[in-house]
Amino acid sequence: MSLLQHLDEDRDLTGLVKFFGIESGDQYVIDNIIDKSLNLKTVLEASDVVVITTPLTLKTRNLIGQRQLEWMKQDAILINVGRGDVIDQKALYDHLKSHSNFRAGIDTWWSEPVSRGPFQIDYPFFELPNIIGSPHCADHVPRAMADATRKALENVKQFLLGHKIRGILNRKDYS
């Protein structure tokens, strides 16, 4: 299993690998793949399961397209709990339709967030037998809001003390 994730010191997704009963897995920090210290092709070719947790940035938009899907194993599983637009919608639909053993689990869709209007998809994904979808609820876990609040308060404390805060984003990455 490979986890394509953004570097976040507070997030440890290795427990997800254990949940699936897999003894070991590789976490690939998406920043390292984008910066070419890791080869995305090699990661995708080697993985039975790929879990995407990345935010949507200028660098991650359509990170997974037709070419990247072709690199994956014929019977691979692609799970996206990051952002919908990290995967090219048409490419994923076409790949699922033409590769019946390839499977996908989608929790984040292309019409999110809600401010973009009502839920809609441009292709009939739900007619395919090799996809399962959920209504963007993968982050609904016990204590998630309490943990986020604790982390925010810790950052406020660190800022007031003149110390380094965590999780700073660069607005240029999201324009």
Enumerate the active-site residues: 83, 112, 136
How far, in Å, CA of 3 to CA of 50, rounded? 6
Q: Are 73 and 25 in contact (CB under 8 A)?
A: no
Question: In the structure encoding, which two tokens stand for residue 112, read together?
Answer: 């999110």
Cβ-in-10-Å burial (0-12, 13-18, 19+) of 167 comes to exposed
Q: What are phi and psi of 123, to 5 degrees?
A: -135, 150
DSSP 23: S
Q: How many CB atoms lie within 10 A of CB 7?
A: 9
Residues 6+ apart with CB under 8 A from 115: none
* Backbone φ/ψ region at 153: left (φ over 0), alpha (ψ -120 to 50), beta: alpha
Q: Are 58 and 35 in contact (CB under 8 A)?
A: no
